[in-house]
Structure 1
Amino acid sequence: MPITPVKTLVAKARDVIVTLPQDRAEAMVEAGEALFVDIRDIRELDREGRIPGAIHAPRGMLEFWVDPESPYFKPVFETDKTLILFCASAWRSALATRDLQNMGFENVAEMEGGFSQWKARGAAIEKA
């Protein structure tokens, strides 16, 4: 039996999630309506830099960190602000956004284009 290609999984996730243009996502964070959540691996952050003020929640721990019943819960996620997830190129973030929706989160979205697009457009970056 063939596997479902990851491109198909990402496309299906995008059918059910909100993808915000970068300028809209940035405006929401600046207005205090949202939080950026960087789900990239720590090595990517060290190599490429970070969006100032973004919360780092590695993809492998995200569901555990946002769940109040998890022993790994992080209180920063106890918020009514929209969580705007991003990764390098908006594939992992699409799947992660869908997974958080499946957990019951309503205020969650992904940022279009991910960190690669953020960096390419010259937006603010902090280096390690």
Structure 2
Amino acid sequence: MPAKMKKGYRALIDEAMAEVKTLSVAEAHKLHEAENIVFVDIRDVRELKAQGAIPGAIHAPRGMLEFWVDPESPYHKPIFSQDKTFVLYCAAGWRSALATKTLQDMGLERVAHIDGGFGAWSEAGFPVEKKEK
């Protein structure tokens, strides 16, 4: 018999969505070329290779994100210390909602995510760049 969850994934996502800034795909597209905005793709590398990515987005795999953001971490990436707004996305907006909430909890103030994620972006016909296989 499987263990009973105290709080399932849906509850975690709902809680995150209530606390984070969520951009519609149209709002995200308007911000795409802005100098003070960094799009962050948190999907697995296999998803990027299979589906492509939003042009100019940096890739920060979900499993490494907290380590790359924290300046105290040996894995810190300097991009996350810049005075920018970070717009996270995943495939559908679930992982990015959780990741955005985590980054807010860590103290990153200017962070948002895209509702519907990369799927919504590509369905809207917005630009996608292919990644090397």
TM-score of Structure 1 vs Structure 2, range by shorter chain: over 0.9
Structure 1 residue 29: Cα displacement = 3.1
* Equivalent residue number for residue 85 of structure 2: 82
- Long gaps (5+) in structure 1: none
What is the one-letter code of the residue matched to 1:2? K
Which aligned pairs between 1:67-78 and structure 2 lie closer than 5 A?
Answer: 67-78=70-81
* Equivalent residue number for residue 13 of structure 2: 10
What is the one-letter code of the residue matched to 2:84? K
- Count of aligned pairs between the two proteins: 128
The root-mean-square deviation of aligned C-alpha atoms, in Å, is 1.1
Any idea what the Cα deviations from partners look like across 1:6-61, whole Å, max 9, x if unmatched? Answer: 11110010111000112222222312231100000000000011111001000000
Quick one: which of 45, 58, 62 aligns to 1:59? 62
CA contact (8 A) 2:29 2:126 kept: no
CA contact (8 A) 2:42 2:88 kept: yes
Counting aligned pairs with the same residue, the percent is 54
Structure 2 residue 14 is the aligned partner of structure 1 residue 23: no
TM-score, structure 2 as length reference = 0.92
What is the one-letter code of the residue matched to 2:37? A
Structure 1 residue 110: Cα displacement = 0.6
The ranges of structure 1 where at least 4 consecutive aligned residues each deviate by more than 6 angstroms after the TM superposition are none
* Aligned-partner Cα distance in 2 for 1:112–1:76: 23
Bigger radius of gyration, 1 or 2? 2
Any idea what the Cα deviations from partners look like across 1:61-107, whole Å, max 9, x if unmatched? Answer: 00000111110011111211110000000000000000000001110
